[in-house]
Each structure stands twice: as structure tokens, then as C-alpha cells.
Structure 1
Amino acid sequence: MSFDILIRNGRVVDGTGNPWFWSDIGIKDGRIAAMGDLSGEDGEKVIDASGLVISPGFIDIHTHSDTVLLVNPTGDSHIMQGVTTNLIGNCGGSVAPVSEPMKRRYEVMLRRYDLEIDWTTLGEFLEKVEEKGTSLNVASLVGNATVRMAVMGMERRAPTKEELKEMKDLVAEAMEDGAFGLSTGLFYAPSGYASTDEVVELAKVAAEYGGIYATHIRGEGDPLIEAVREAIEIGERAGIPVEISHHKAMGKRNWGKVKETLRMMEEARRRGIEVTCDVYAWRAGSTGLTATLPHWVHEGGLERLLERLRDPETRQRIKREMAEGTPGWESIVHEIGWENVMISGCPGHREYEGKRVAELAEEKGVDPYDFAFDLLIEEKGRVWMVIFGMSPEDVATVIKSPLSMIASDSSAIAPRGPLGEGKPHPRTYGNFVKVLGEYVREKRLLTLEEAVRKMTSMPAQKLGLLDRGLLRVGNWADVVIFDPDRVASRATYLDPHQFPVGVEWVIVNGVVTVEKGKHTGARAGKVLRKSAIRYGKRL
């Protein structure tokens, strides 16, 4: 038999977690056609994997690539580290259903990328991705914040019965368009305006279609225990598998709490609640600077937020709540301080990038709160930050847990054009390879087989991707070939736009997309849709 691609002489780590084994792999028509001793066969393209490891393509279950896929369809920062599949729509923010409040929220960003929202539903967006072509496979969740904005705008109140029904209908529509579940970002507004009961009602709809519930919980610092308890409760009441996103304990006084939260997950599983988590391999997180502000400040949208920051009396109230914390809301600044907040993206002041807020405020001779508020006003909210708040020991504890899988919490960008600006979190270019280089090879926290399972079959199983995530005959040929002795991240907080070393080949749906460490430009990715089955009947 002649194959399209024949991979010889590699050590196969197949994604199951079982020990590696020697095997050739023959690929034909986008799928794995044969494995074993294929010495008598030939291929149109033959790859010699001597000294290298062959594994399934990595599945990133928590990304924010969304509209970035239309700006950078080659997905460089992810594909170059071996990621072949992105799950988008996380943290409550999906690309649909589109509404005027959503358009206003993203107007400046979209203008910067010369991008127009010309879709309304998730189905229309996914069709647009297919038309454009992408190097990555793409699957999506539907976000409760996006759904809420479509029905209630940025209002901070409970929905009426009619509004709740409308939101449930929008979730059902997205699930019928192929969404893999519901996401929330309860730490953020307006996602966090939703009560537990409201989220349960939406999650029940996703559950009817066999979806998952992925959540950036309500708090990852002081409220961590209660927030994990809420996530488990939602899973139990809605009858839906739970994925706790980028699990961590933020702020020094909360370090060590992940042992308790992991114990809570284990206990929930004993009660029949399918709960797992994902984690990135860094001790810092990243989000927008507006996330430091109390939820009520966001009510009414960005213009109202900026008005509140301009008002002296309101500004003092905001300062006080950020400094002291308030019940039901997590204050990042209260937990870690301005000295641990680094500006990572600021279009109007590139010279601020890579510096801490406390440092910049001291240089200006102003209070750090005033510096941050004035910067947000000047930049119209377009400021991003990296926040240093986790302990390396906690990161290692979560990575090692059998309940965790690896995810980047980043976008598939490129070191060129508008996406190459700023200092994005280095996980964007190096999360998966950092696990392989540091936590497997150097620290030996995980075996290679365990690490690969957390990046491949474990997220595939969570999402119900039955023909991806494992190297087996009949599966789609998403394959990574890397050097276990060299693979490593080169990205740093101050110089993040650097591709990794050691990833030699990446194959997506049987098409070579990275060859000898270079992107080929191929766009062989597929849009993955969950089958729209409700109550056992195909719709």
C-alpha cells in the first residue's frame, strides 16, 4: 500500500498514557491507515522520526482564539508548539449570538484588526471560519456572557421569566449549530451578574445536547473554595460534566488551597459528578486591566465604566472596594497588590509594556490606583495585564493531579502585524512545550506518557471527540513529532513572541503543517461540530 505520509522509526506515545512503543505510521486520505512494522511499504512523503517521539496533536481545551482565527488563520503560536485543535468560546465569551451590546464591547478591537462582524449565529461564524480556512481544528462553546448581553445588555439584575426563556433558546440554538457546551466567566461582568440558579438553567439546556459546562469560576483567590463548590453544584443540579478552567489559587494567603479544591473534585466524582480541570504551566495569569474593577463599575457598558472612573466621588468608592475587597466579588489588587500587576498590552503607551503598575506609578509620582484609572480612561479600556499571583508549588500540584489536563488560556496569534504587538503571556507560544521540557524532562513531575495524555486523549474524551486524541488506525491524522531531549519554550514575559524549539513536524488531518520546525502555510484544519442530538432524537 502506498501512503500519503509514512512516518518511520519513531517512538510512539499514543495518548492513552500507556508506555511508548516502536511503530511506523501510515497516513492516507487524512486518517491513520496503518500502524506497526511498515518497512515493506512506501509513501509519497516519508518522514524519518529517528530519535523523536510521535504523539497525537495537542488539543487545547481552553483558548481565546475566537475572532483571532479570522485575523490569523495559520494559528502560528499554537501550531508551532504542536497544538492541532482549539476550543474557543471560553470564560463566558463566545462569538455568537451577536448583539449590539456585544458589537460595542468589541468595536475598537475589531477596528484594529480591520474585522467586521458579519455573522449573527455561531453556525454562521463557523461557516466563515471554514470559508477562510485555518491551520487548526476549531470547536466552540457558547458563552453565558454573550447570551446575556444579547437579551439583557449589561444590566446587573436577575432576568425575568421571559428573558430567561430567551437565553435558554439562544443556548439551544448554539448547541444545534454545533457548540460543545456552555461556558461562564463568573469572575467577569456581565457573566458574573448571573446567579447560580440562572447558570443552572442554561447549563441544563447544554446538558440536553450532551455538552459540557466549562467555567472560569467566580473567584480564584479568597473565594476559591466557595467558587469551586458552586461549580460542582451547577454540575450536579444541571446533570452536566464540569470543566474548571485554568485552576489556580491566586494570592499568597490562598496558596495551598488547591489541595482542598482537588479533594473536593475527587469527592464530587465519587458522588457521580463528572468534574475535571485544566491548568497552564506558569505562575502568572493574564486578562484585561478592567478586570481589576468591581462588577458594578461595568454595568451599562464601557462608556458608563469610563464615566465612573472620571467621577471623583465614584473613583474613591472604587479604590476603597479594590483595596479592601467586598463580599461576592474578588479583588485582584487586594490579593496580590499593584507590584504584581504588569502591563502587557497598551497600544497608546508601548513604553509601559513589561513594567509593573506600582513601578510606573512611582515614576510618575502618583497613586497606583489613579495611574491605573487614568490609563484606562486614556486608552478607553484597552489595557491588558499579566498578574503574578500563584505559587510554583500549587501549579505543580494541579499539573500532577489525575483530574487535570493541560490548556493555554491564550490565542493562536503570530509575531507579526497587530497580533505581534505587546507582550502577551508567554503561554501563548510555549505552554505545551514548557510542560514537556520543564515538568517532564527537567523536573520529572510527570512521565512523558502522562503529559501527552493530559494534552490529547483526556481533552478529546471530555469533548466527545471520538476520532481524535489517540494514535490509532481510523482516527484523523493529527500528529506531532518532537525531540524529547530538546523540546522547550523560549517565550518569556518580556520577550514572548518566540517560537519553541524541538517541535519538528506537525500534521493536521493528514497534511504537513509544520515541517522541520517551519510552518508550511497549510490550512487543513476542520471546524468540529457536536452532533445536535436532543433527548436522543437527531434534530
Structure 2
Amino acid sequence: MYDLVLKNGWIVDGSGNPRYRGDVAVRGDRIVAVGFLGDAAARETVDVRGLIVAPGFIDMMGQSEINALIDNRVLSKITQGVTTEVTGEGGSVAPLTDRLVLDDSDVMKKWHYREDWRDLDGYVAQLEKQGSTLNIATFVGATQVRLAVVGKDDRAPTPPELAHMTAIVDTLMQQGALGLWTALEYAPASYSKTDELIALAKAARRHGGVYASHMRNEGIRIDEALNEVFRIAREANIPAEVSHLKVAGRRSWGRMPSVLAKIDSARAAGLDITADQYPYTRAATSLDASIPTWAESGGWDSLLARLRDPKTRARLHAEMLQPTDGTEGFYNEAGGGAGILITGVFQDSLRPIQGKTIAEIAAARHHDPIETIFNVVLGEGGHRTDAVYAVMDEPDVQAAMKTWWVAVNTDFGGVAPDGPFGTQSAHPRAYGSFARILGHYSRDLNLFPLEFAVRKMTSLAAQRVGLYDRGMLKPGMAADITVFDAATVADKATFEQPHQPSVGFAYVFVNGKKVLDHGRLTAARPGRGLRGPGYVPPEARGGR
């Protein structure tokens, strides 16, 4: 007897093949049969006639590793069909040191959680103790490794420090990390030289890992940034993923076809390069990311001291208007203060500026927009301000989306309108990335078939990060299943009202357990910490 049979659905199995009508049977946490199953006996039989039955979606760049500990519903992900999230962009749950935990003390106090672990094994144990609706798999964040060993200073690691960093990557890969992930546009990761990254990538590759990168630049210097990715892939002999592929800044709009051609050329030359994206024209990151990265050397206290010094502040102002590093900088890429929207603040006293652009805040205060950015950062007292930047052009977004080797992400943590993060604003991608591609782009604009979209969201992602038992509907695979109505699936979240779940999803199953039933979460929390291909059980690690 089966535990569950989904009958009479349109099966889109994740391979990209045409849909077909059939049944899916589950026993325990595994799919055990797919096809015509007749009157097969099951503890629960659900008639899904007219609905799409697909593998659970894989978010190739989420940020829910801590959110899931704070609100384990992870509602904005489950309500758009996501069953597994990949995380670890630059920062990651491990390694943690006592000093890094101390740095997070204010955040832990605000959001009521504890960092009681120090490595990946410890985090996975904590996640499974608290429960989660979805699965979480993580990379080793190169920024996190650098912070643990080198700290926040703008300098290269010494040879012993680099050896220590490499050993950390080795250890965490054995604990199940998927690979190494860099976020090179932000300090302190921006202080890393390519040779440092190659050494860490080689350690990840020894355990079957991949290299993912938020590249050094996504605007006018994107060719150089891609060349660095290619060099790391070549010299470390490692597959590489370009994270949230985009062309940022008005001076670069229209260049996506040439960027795609450059990656295709690298693939043709023998490099294993793929990418992922979210389907929006606005990016989201911190407000301080618009400030030149040299100002963050030494960490938050050093940045705040520089902003309080009139001479240094004047230099930063000038460099934001006319960057000296050959880039446009986030401020110019967004078209100035009108293109930067504040979506989340740490200090309650700054709550009134949420939902306003820097230009609007500056006008209300009768201040210059750049000076307004400095003042907001100072007002946060060393805590992050979240912001959305209008940096992309719709034709570029669509060009990447139509590319067969580009997967899908939200690049946002799981949130909920009635949860602790509901008081913050958000980027609509938190709720809408997957539904928007299925509804707006595939169905409404007819950019590509539904089967093509589902493959991007499932088997392409699973293959890239080595989650080989997910991403397909076939016997033996994990029973992560998303059931939706192709005619009604749609994103509802907007920049003005972001806390709106997507619609059209009938059921979501994670590891064989129903977590979503016609838009309502169940009480089940079957999510797990997933391990990468280099995972070695603790009892077997000594001899490897």
C-alpha cells in the first residue's frame, strides 16, 4: 500500500519533456511509482485532475538559513512551490566563532534566536530540532571563512591563514556543504584576490563541490568579472555558477545578449558554467553597499568613524558621484536617490522611512541624497538597512530567462505577512519569483513552454549543486512535489505591497508530507538540512 497517490494529474517531471497525464505514488519520503497506477491502494488519494504535478522547486539562492529558525513556516517560499532552498552567498551558517556570534548579539536579541552552533553539523542539528517546512542546503561562504580567520581588514591572508581557511573549507565540505560561494561586490569579500579564491575553490572541488559567485561587478566591468569566474573554474577545475545573473546600470543596459554569448563561448571551450536569476528589474541589498568598499575596512565601527569625519565623508561623497575604481557604483547604477527604495530598517526610530526612496527622504529632510544615505547608515548604529535598487532593464531580464542553463532564485529569506518579518518591507521576489515565471512569463507572455520553466526550477538546479535525489519525478527520488494550476498560478507581491503570497498552488509536499493545502500551511515541518555530494558521516571522517 502506498502512503499517498496523486491521481489524474498532468505530470511535468522536471526533465523538460512534454507533460503527460498520470499518477504519482509516495511511500514514506520517497516517490515509488509514476505513471498509470489504476486503482492502487493508498492511505490518502488526492484527485489532481487538471493540475500540474511537478517536482518541488529549488530556490538556487535563498537567504532563509536564519529566518527558518525564527519563523519555521518559511511561508513566502512554500506558497510559491519551493521545497528546497540553497543558501550561503558569501556569508553562511558556518564557520562561526565566538567573536562572530558576539557581532550578531543585537540581531539575535531583536529576532529572538540563538547561534548555538559553530559548524555545519551543529546548524543542521539545530534546524531539525526546531523544524522547517522546507529543506535547506548550504554552501561555505567565502566571506564567512575570511571573517573567521582574517577578520574585516583589507589585506591578504598570510600563508598560515590561507592554510587555515582551506582546512575550514575541507571540514565543512565533509559536513555536507555544496561548494564555495563568494560575494565579491561587498566588503570584506571584495578584499580577496583571485589566487585566494582559487585555493579555497580547489578545497571545495576535492569533495565534489561547485563554485558560485556574486561576481565583483555586474555592470560596466562585467566582462572582467566573468573572466575571473572563468579563471577560477579553469584553475580549480570546478563547475561554476554565476549568481543572480544580471546587467546592472543604465550604461550597461542591452548587453545581456553579449554576456550570454560570452558564457556560451566559455562553455564551448570546456568550462562548466551556468547561472541563475530572479525575474525582476530591481535588485535588493544593503544601503551601505552603495558606499565605496574601502570605507568598510575594519568593519562597522570603522565605517561609522569615517562617515563622522568631514574630510573622509567628503571623499566618499565625491567617489559615489564619480567612482574611482572603474565601476558606476550602486548609487549611479540605480539612477541616483530616486532609484533606491528603503525596504527594511533595524532601528525602530527609522521605521517611518521604510517604503520611501532616498530621494523622497532627502527632500523631506532638505538634504542631499548621498548625505541622506550617510545619515541613515549612521542612524542605524552599525546595523543593516535593506534597500531595493532599480538597476536592470526588462529586455535583459527576459534574455537571460529564455536561456536554458539559467536556473531560478528568490535571493531573499522566507517571510510571512503575519510573522516577525512582516513588520519589515521586502522585495516581491521573496513571494513571487517562481510564480511570476510560470504565470507572467511562460503563460501570459509565452516566452517559453511550461515544461522549460519547470526544468529550470527543478532538475537544472538539483544537478548543478549535486542534490541528485531531488528535482525529478521518478521512482527513488525524494517526495518533494508541487501541484499547481497552470491557468491561475500568479505572483501577487509588488514593490508597494510586497507581503502578498502567490496564488494557484494547490498542494506542496516536502519529504512526502503535505505542507501546503490550497494556500494554507499545515502543521507539518518535515524539512531537513540537506548534505552535498562530499558529505562524510561523522564516524567515517577520521580516515578520509
Same fold, judged at TM 0.5 (above): yes
Q: How far 1:356 sits from its partner (Å)?
A: 0.9
Asked if the contact 2:135–2:530 (Cα under 8 Å) also holds between the matched residues in 1, the reply is yes
Q: How far 1:537 sits from its partner (Å)?
A: 11
Map 1:92-491 onto structure 2 (within 5 A).
92-327=90-325, 331-336=329-334, 337-346=336-345, 347-380=348-381, 381-491=383-493
Task: Please give the secondary structure, in 2, of the residue aligned with 1:524.
Answer: coil
Residues in 1 aligned to 2:65 and 2:29: alpha-carbon distance in whole angstroms: 25
* 1:8 equivalent in structure 2: 7
Residues in 1 aligned to 2:327 and 2:141: alpha-carbon distance in whole angstroms: 20
Q: How far 1:242 sits from its partner (Å)?
A: 0.4
> Given residue 288 of structure 2, which amino acid in structure 1 is its aligned partner?
T
Q: Count residues with an aligned counterpart.
A: 536
Residues in 2 aligned to 1:469 and 1:402: alpha-carbon distance in whole angstroms: 16
Q: Deviations over 1:63-92 (max 9, x none)?
A: 1112111112221110111000011111x1
Residues in 2 aligned to 1:197 and 1:85: alpha-carbon distance in whole angstroms: 32
Q: Deviations over 1:225-261 (max 9, x none)?
A: 1111111111111111100000001111101222122
Q: How far 1:130 sits from its partner (Å)?
A: 1.5
Q: How far 1:39 sits from its partner (Å)?
A: 2.2
* 2:508 equivalent in structure 1: 506
Q: Deviations over 1:167-196 (max 9, x none)?
A: 101111111111000000000111111001
Map 1:65-84 onto structure 2 (within 5 A).
65-84=64-83
Asked if the contact 1:154–1:300 (Cα under 8 Å) also holds between the matched residues in 2, the reply is yes
Residues in 2 aligned to 1:109 and 1:228: alpha-carbon distance in whole angstroms: 34
Residues in 2 aligned to 1:8 and 1:537: alpha-carbon distance in whole angstroms: 47
Residues in 2 aligned to 1:238 and 1:485: alpha-carbon distance in whole angstroms: 45
Cα gap change, 1:217/1:345 in structure 2, threshold over 3 Å: closer, same or farther? same
TM-score by length of 2: 0.96
Residues in 1 aligned to 2:144 and 2:83: alpha-carbon distance in whole angstroms: 26
Task: Please give the secondary structure, in 2, of the residue aligned with 1:410.
Answer: coil
Asked if the contact 2:140–2:181 (Cα under 8 Å) also holds between the matched residues in 1, the reply is yes
> Given residue 40 of structure 1, which amino acid in structure 2 is its aligned partner?
D
Task: Please give the secondary structure, in 2, of the residue aligned with 1:497.
Answer: coil
Residues in 1 aligned to 2:198 and 2:327: alpha-carbon distance in whole angstroms: 20
Residues in 1 aligned to 2:32 and 2:122: alpha-carbon distance in whole angstroms: 33
Gaps of 5+ in 2: none
Q: How far 1:128 sits from its partner (Å)?
A: 1.0
Q: Deviations over 1:349-374 (max 9, x none)?
A: 22212211012101211111111111
Residues in 1 aligned to 2:428 and 2:483: alpha-carbon distance in whole angstroms: 22
Q: Deviations over 1:435-488 (max 9, x none)?
A: 001111101111100000000000111112221100001111110000000000
Tell me whether 342-351 or 185-194 shows the greater mean CA deviation.
342-351
* 1:495 equivalent in structure 2: 497
Task: Please give the secondary structure, in 1, of the residue aligned with 2:373.
Answer: helix
Q: How far 1:538 sits from its partner (Å)?
A: 7.7
Cα gap change, 1:26/1:40 in structure 2, threshold over 3 Å: closer, same or farther? same
Q: How far 1:100 sits from its partner (Å)?
A: 4.5
> Given residue 88 of structure 1, which amino acid in structure 2 is its aligned partner?
T
> Given residue 287 of structure 2, which amino acid in structure 1 is its aligned partner?
L
- The sequence identity of aligned pairs, in percent, is 39
TM-score by length of 1: 0.97
